Structure 1
């Protein structure tokens, strides 16, 4: 697991969906004046250069954020997302219209953090932990920890604020990650039932993914929403064919915003025979 580096995949279609939805959740949460905590179990580095060897080796960003970068017909939800990526580029001294940088999840949140909100970030990979710590050096609202994120999540809840957004975004390199993630979310929910939980998941082996999601569905937890984009049909061949967010306690109207977003992404990021889903898997 510690060999995983998100720089290879930064800005790909899965990141587009994950970060666009994350920003919508933050915006909906901030309609209330009360502070909240953002907890990230697998934070990665603060941001990623799209011109370095990691990004250039795969070029995945070209089929993700790269396809939206110059679009002028984006729905409002995606305008917000692309605008945040532009702001990050400008903050890194990019005064051109070229796409050179991509923010990690904590950087997206940092751009929208209010004075009373805070972040708790976990990262085990030594290099990424150092980069993340350097990125947030001196930030009083941010706690960066070199610790297993699933254990850290359970220890971090319930937060003092009693409001929280949790992003669980593992690499899923090890098969046991799937069961461990479901178990950790269920334990955390039992301690903090009002939190908003965002589980990012890949579809490489559909049965494996659905077993994890099925465990969450059967847990007795209410209000579980699936937001998924497939760029091509499920396959037994190597590689990710779809990615999604499984949201527990989604803020009001997130399902409507996600539908608008995915309708657009389906038109522009689909490869061959893909599909999108916004479905309430467990209701009230």
Structure 2
């Protein structure tokens, strides 16, 4: 079993891209009264203390969240993302970084449900401890499973209200995650063709990463693919130089919102002259 812990990376540039988009999708789903489910296949600990030893070890939030909070005149999508961060920091200090589970918890209405998968025992334990600190209503809405989210997803689809967001964001520390992500998406679409599926993937110098991106952008689905590159790939091939988000059945408003947001993110988060973005559509 791999020892990956997201606390080392909480609030970095990849989290900014992933969670800004995720918050926008949640807001869109909340425009209708019909209940929906959120399913997170790799929940992690749910929320992260940026003052912890793990978070401070690499301090990756200094090249992500900190730059966002210090920036002037952010576009509306980023304003909403910052508001979601502030909801988890009522004292006005950005000490806690909400992962996808906590962003969902803050967005869900009474009839909505949250299904969280986390197979690593230590992470699952912290996730459940964090959930125990939430209000009873949030606890009733949420179910935590200690199992592989790739396999567990099948049993959750389609959700009872036939509305749902599934976020698939493994660490990709295991090279099989690339294959399993694609498999989970394809199987998920067979069970829930109208569902919104959100796939996060890293931009790294690995053939599996490049193949996943190529395959996703060739799928015959209604989708958006957005990437954010913050620096030139390292010569040794290690390290994250950017990340991507592939969204199946996205909100119809999302493309225009990303057109307005991605150039600003490049300007704000780029670490060298190689900062860039891409935004493309898939069609059935």
**Interval of TM-score (by shorter of Structure 1 and Structure 2):** over 0.9
Verify: 1:223 aligned to 2:218, yes or no.
no
Candidates 119, 132, 137, aligned match of 1:124: 119
1:2–1:124 CA contact under 8 A, matched in 2:
no
Verify: 1:99 aligned to 2:100, yes or no.
no
Candidates 120, 127, 134, aligned match of 2:129: 134
Aligned match of 2:24: 24
Aligned match of 1:276: 277
Q: Which runs of 5+ in 2 are unaligned?
A: none
Verify: 1:178 aligned to 2:178, yes or no.
yes
2:168–2:198 CA contact under 8 A, matched in 1:
yes
Tell me the secondary structure at the aligned position of residue 73 of structure 1: coil
Aligned match of 1:205: 205
Tell me the secondary structure at the aligned position of residue 121 of structure 1: strand
1:182–1:213 CA contact under 8 A, matched in 2:
no
State how 1:241-252 maps to structure 2 within 5 Å. 241-252=241-252
Aligned match of 1:146: 146
Distance 1:256 1:268 in 2: 19
Distance 1:276 1:207 in 2: 20
1:205–1:236 CA contact under 8 A, matched in 2:
no
Q: Which runs of 5+ in 1 are unaligned?
A: none
Q: What's the TM-score once normalised by structure 2's chain length?
A: 0.93
Tell me the secondary structure at the aligned position of residue 210 of structure 1: helix
Between 242-251 and 136-145, report the one with greater CA deviation: 136-145
Distance 1:218 1:55 in 2: 36
Over the residues paired in the alignment, what is the CA RMSD in angstroms?
A: 1.5
1:186–1:216 CA contact under 8 A, matched in 2:
no
1:13–1:63 CA contact under 8 A, matched in 2:
yes
